Structures are given as structure tokens and as C-alpha cells.
A = this chain, B = another copy of it.
Amino acid sequence: MEDVYVLGIGMTPFGKHPDKSPADLGAQAVNLALSDAGVGRGDIGAAWVGHVFQGMAMGQRALYAAGISGIPIDNVENACSSGSTAIWDAALALRAGAYDIVLALGVEHMTTAFRGALAPDPSDIEAQLGLTMPGIYAMRAQRYMLQYGVEPQDIARIAVKNKRNAAMNPLSHFKKAVTLEEVMQGRLIADPLRMHECAPISDGAAAVVMVTKSKLKQLGGSRAIKLAASSLRSGRTEVGLVDMTVEDLTWRTAEAAYEQAGVGPGEIDFAEVHDCFSIAEALRVEGMGLVPHGEYVARVGKGEMDLNGILPVNGSGGLLGKGHPLGATGVAQVVELVKQLRGDAGERQIENAKIGVAHCRGGKAQGVEGTACTVNILVA
């Protein structure tokens, strides 16, 4: 199989874009990625476009707006893992030798398309009865607190860290750091989670141009970053099983990625993980085997996950700070990994960043089964 590289990245500011359509946002990200990659519209062989709520043919609308046409365009959905699933598909196509330059785009215009915010699916009876996303994560936070003896303010420090990082990211939805006191004085959403601990409703898009190794040699680009692994899994998760603080789906997805990349969890230098809620970051970093179960929250308190810590997590600001336009999130994480691995992350640059991991977890559990999880590993 061909090795796969990310050659170009593009991302719109995340936030509220009432004056722009999702196609506008998608086209903007695509144009930035093409320009960064130094390739033309006509060089793209195929495109995968991740989104959740944008309706039919979102990818076509965005790509035509960017002047790209005549190629295979494929819309993919895997809840919050939609964008990273587009990357996964694109990597498979490159590995098949079917194309040598492809595009993965993630886009979401949440402010127009996300109606009935907390329980978007009317057939989801659990959600209609209160087991919404904040409810699920609050329950998991309560269990984590009980099991590992931590307090709400310990978990809240995850939000403080991520919003501090977001304040250094010019593309973030939130650009203001918050103190622990501010987080703890925030409105209670679902006990113990408060306003700053919940990802916002954002609009935005992110795109990557991906190439085979042989094409990269031909193009001679020096800023390409290797996509050493792209892993997607669905299935058994944690909710409803013995221990809802242990993410089995996250572990199985990460395990497959470690194997594909030939990299162990101990070799990861930094991570972007799916912090849809503060507690979620703990569950994911522990789930990927980067920190032992029950230790993450305490380690955040010691600063180990800060930009200058042992294992910087969500240096971009994460979903809590950078924002969370569902379909765009998984691609934006890879955009951030590339920036860090190129040494282009400005004041949030992580020193000696050589191996980064991006983690997304999409959808609710249906009984004991989760929707989808992705893990991408990039190596400088």
C-alpha cells in the first residue's frame, strides 16, 4: 500500500457565520488547502466531504463553489466523526492507487442546520426523555468523580486549559481565556458540567489535500506530513456496560491506529481529542492509553497537558475553545496536527512535536453500541 501524506491544509475561522452558506465555508477551506498545497483545482482526483446536518449533496455544493468539478465527490456521515471519516476514505483511495491527489473536506453550518439542539433526532426516545448529550456526559462525569475521587473544579480545569489555548488560535470560536472561578460560576448545564465545559454551536469548515508518497516525490513538497495511520471503528462502547469511564470503542480504534503506524501510545508527543465536554477529554486520553485510567484529571491539574507539559492535549483550543462545527471538527484536528508538526503553530507551538494523534468520537451509544470513532496519527 502507498504511504499517504497531508500536503496542504485550510480552515475557515470557526464561530458564527450568519452571512455565509455552508458551501461558502467549504469553498473557502478548499481554496486555502489548495493554495497551501500548491496544487490546482484540476489536480484533485476525488473528494470526500464529511457533514451531518447540511442535507443532500453538500460536498458538490462546496466543491462547485470552489471551482472543482468533474471528479468523484462523496458525502460521508458518521456523526461527530464525519470529517475524520472523510479523511479515512480519502486515505484508502490513495492507498488503492486509484488517485494520487485527493481532498477531504469537513463542513457544518450549525447555526442554520442544527435545530432542536439537545435532542436532534425525534426518534431518539432516550434523548427526548432527557438523556441528551450533556446528560450522558454529566452522568459519566459523576461516575468518574465517584470512582476516582475528583471534584467538579478538577474537571473544570480542562476547560480552563483549552480556552487558554484557544485564545492563542486566531481561527478559534472563543478567543478569551477563562479562569477556574469563571468556569465554576458559569451556568450549570447538567450537574457537574457548566457552560464553559460544553462545546459551542459553531459554523466552519476545514480541508486537507492528501497525496501518495510517489506523487509527493514528484511534486517535491517539503511541508508534507505523513498520515501514518487512519483508523475508523464502530461498535461496542462504554455506556450501559460495567464502567462508563472506560471507552472501549476509543481503545479499539486507537489500538488499530497504533498498529498501522507502528507507534505505541508512549511515543505520542501531543494530542487533539474530542472534548465535546470537559470530562470527555479525560475519557478519550485515558481511552487511547495515553494516561492510566483515573489519572487524567489530576494530571491536568499539575499542568502536564499544557502546551509546555509532558503531553499537550488540545493545543488548538479543542472543541471547547476552538469550536465544534460537527463535520469540520475531525478535519480541523488534522489541520492542527499538521501546523504543529510543521512548526507553524505560532505562540501555541509545542516544542519537539514529532508524532501527533487526533481522536474523534461521533454519535450516541445505541444500547451498548457507539456510532463511530476515528484515530489519525501524523508523523513529522
Contact = CB atoms under 8 A, between A and B. Distances in A.
A85 to B, nearest CB: 6
Interface string A117-136: 00011010000000000000
A163 interface: no
A29 to B, nearest CB: 18
Interface in A94-135: 95-98, 120-121, 123
Contact of A56 (B52, B64, B76): B52
Nearest to A65: B366
Given A123-B55, A363-B60, A372 B89 contact: no
A235 B70 contact: yes
Interface in A51-94: 52, 55-57, 60-61, 63-64, 69-79, 85, 88-89, 92-93
B1 A70 contact: no
A52 B54 CA distance: 12
A92 B45 CA distance: 14
A22 to B, nearest CB: 10
Interface residues on A, range: 35 or more
B372 A60 contact: yes
A36 interface: no
Contacts of A76: 74-77
A76 B76 CA distance: 4
Contacts of A252: 70
B233 A71 contact: yes
Given A92-B92, A92-B93, A92-B98, A233 B64 contact: no
A226 interface: no
Interface string A345-380: 000000000000000001100110101100000000
Given A75-B77, A232-B74, A234-B73, A56 B366 contact: no
B234 A1 contact: no
Contact of A121 (B52, B55, B88, B92): B55
Contacts of A121: 55-56
A85 B77 contact: no
Contact of A234 (B72, B88, B366): B72
6 contacts: A1-B96, A72-B233, A73-B78, A73-B234, A77-B77, A89-B92
